Structure 1
Amino acid sequence: MIRLSHHHPFLNVQNHQRQTALHLAVITRQPQLVEKLLKAGADPRLVDNSGNTALHIACKRGSLASFGVITQNCRRHLTTILSSTNYSGHNCLHLASINGYISLVESLVRLGADINAQEQCSGRTSLHLAVDLQNPPLVRCLLSLGANVNCFNYGGFTPYHLTYGRQSEEIRCELYEKTAHELRELPDSESDESDMEEADTPED
């Protein structure tokens, strides 16, 4: 049927959750089907009712095989997809970071994802999210890839500021050494608690 539907609009029909066959192939972990759909003309830019493309789904679920197939077969649209955010304000790199998929984080940055892109809810970068989630390996990974330690979220906090009151001494020490001296002091704010709360890990 896929062969007969080559470049036919049928390939991009969406269900009641606005999922296409491509979304469902990723969700059901069928990378070979993902490849067939893409080669037949399925549009990788289409989003479901949460604003996720098929690549967003692969990053959220840690589907390495589907991730590889999509990124290899969607070079023309890859920059657009990597920079697009879902309705929660997260791009592919944010989703991979939130869910702790370090190999996907590395691959996304190599493919051109902006390592310092801010999610749209509170302006956290992937490094802010890694601190929120208290994930030392992810923090080290992002730092090695060139993440900006002096980047502020919308509340005016650097990743180091988010280590205040958090358990991991390893993360605190790592970021203290790399953060600009003048940015180490916690800024005064009436909204400290709300700006420094943990990442909202659930994703629709």
Structure 2
Amino acid sequence: MARAAGGGCRKEAAGWEGDEGQCDSGIESLRSLPGGREAPAGVEPPVPAEEPPAEERPAEEPPAEERLDSSYGSGALPEALPRLPAACGAEEPPPPAEGLSRRQLEALTFVSEDGDTLVHLAIIHCVPDVALCCIAQLPREVLEIQNDLFQTPLHLAVYLEQPSVVEALMHKGVNPGLQDRNGNTPLHLACEQQRLYCAQQLLQGTALPQGTAEPPEHHQDLQLQNWQGLACLHISTLKGNIQMMSLLLQSGANIDVQEGTSGKTPLHLAVECHNRRAVQFLLHNGAYVDAQMYNGCTPLHLAVGRRDTAIAAILSHSGADTLLRNMENETAQDLADGNDDLLALLPFDDLKISGKPVVCSE
């Protein structure tokens, strides 16, 4: 008969011991009583039919081991993990990587069923001290492992705003250009979540001094687009974060970068968002006022089409060309037809024949 799950009986030279748990069979239950332990070994009756033969009892040990192994597949942490805090304590500095035991190395390189390493998990559970300890011990290749969502520890540290972990990973030399399942780099996430300090850590040393022949091994590509076609400056413009926009421009971002779906520049996006402050900021920093989308529309086309008189005035005063035509052969003046406020900004000071401008010379 099977033993109790919590623990089995063991056979000693002098008889059966069963104080902690009783066997299921009636005979063994009797032997578990105090009087049963004092019976001489010589008069112990033969093994009854109800009791499994001695050679069959050890066969029941593997299920206990199988139960132990199944806990690893369920995402539980390995046994060696509880030893990590001792190695990371303030009283004793962590040992060098060469001095790690095999069990410690296995714990540090643990990967969960979701593809998360121990560094991923420490960041996810907001335990930066453990993350920093692991970062100090592990090689860069392990720190660049992407989980099932293609997130690196750097992605998570930015998203959860853990700048000390971001700084440690950057000092370790990890690649900041790896993209997650949405095509976002950690810098894309910093712009989306408006993590200014994390963005500063990511961009530290990005701007190359004049005369530098080659970029560093992992150069931050500020024009890199995610799967929506957005570069970091597009995202920060959509968020209206002037500080982030300024940081990106200082680090070398292209102010007229076109997004991948329709060719809009940051100035187009600022106009679409009716963000006058962002429009003025971009124009003051040299944005091309007559930049055209793939369909030929300029920022002025968008402002007039949205009946935004204030932004149309800003663009007009910045020298926007009112006669540029889009693929529908429309100028900004054509789109303003019927709106007196916009028409006052775009006076018909040109001569047209059959809808085409005529250039007059003196």
TM-score normalised by the shorter chain: which range applies?
0.7 to 0.9
Moved more, 93-102 or 73-82: 73-82
Identity of aligned residues (%): 37
Report if the CA contact (8 A) 1:79-1:112 is conserved. Answer: no
Q: Does 1:87 align with 2:87?
A: no
Hey, what does 2:328 align to over in structure 1? 189
C-alpha spacing 1:188/1:93, structure 2 compared with 1 (3 Å): closer
Q: TM-score, normalised by structure 1?
A: 0.85
Report if the CA contact (8 A) 1:46-1:53 is conserved. Answer: yes
Shift of 1:80: 4.6
CA distance in 1, matches of 2:265, 2:158: 26
Q: Does 1:14 align with 2:146?
A: yes
C-alpha spacing 1:79/1:98, structure 2 compared with 1 (3 Å): farther
Q: Does 1:54 align with 2:179?
A: no
Structure 2 gap ranges (5+): 1-133, 208-215, 331-362
Shift of 1:73: 5.2
CA distance in 2, matches of 1:130, 1:6: 42
Deviations, residues 23-78 of structure 1 (Å, cap 9, x unaligned): 00000001111001111232111110111110111011111010001101556368
CA distance in 1, matches of 2:155, 2:196: 15
CA distance in 2, matches of 1:161, 1:45: 35
CA distance in 1, matches of 2:200, 2:154: 14
Q: Secondary structure at the match of 1:164?
A: helix
Match of 2:313 among 173, 177, 183: 173
Moved more, 168-177 or 138-147: 168-177
Alignment of 1:1-204 (within 5 A): 1-7=134-140, 9-72=141-204, 76=216, 80-177=220-317, 178-183=319-324, 187=326, 189=328
CA distance in 2, matches of 1:133, 1:153: 16
CA distance in 2, matches of 1:104, 1:159: 22
C-alpha spacing 1:143/1:166, structure 2 compared with 1 (3 Å): same
Moved more, 120-129 or 74-83: 74-83
Deviations, residues 142-201 of structure 1 (Å, cap 9, x unaligned): 001000011100010000000124253221100122202433xx646299xxxxxxxxxx
Q: Secondary structure at the match of 1:33?
A: helix
C-alpha spacing 1:10/1:79, structure 2 compared with 1 (3 Å): closer
Q: Secondary structure at the match of 1:48?
A: coil
Deviations, residues 104-163 of structure 1 (Å, cap 9, x unaligned): 111111211110110010000000000111111000100010000111000100000001
CA distance in 2, matches of 1:170, 1:57: 32
Structure 1 gap ranges (5+): 192-204
C-alpha spacing 1:114/1:55, structure 2 compared with 1 (3 Å): same
Structure 1 counterpart of 2:135, one-letter code: I
Structure 2 counterpart of 1:168, one-letter code: D
The two structures, once aligned, show a CA RMSD in angstroms of 2.0
Moved more, 36-45 or 147-156: 36-45
Which has the larger Rg? 2
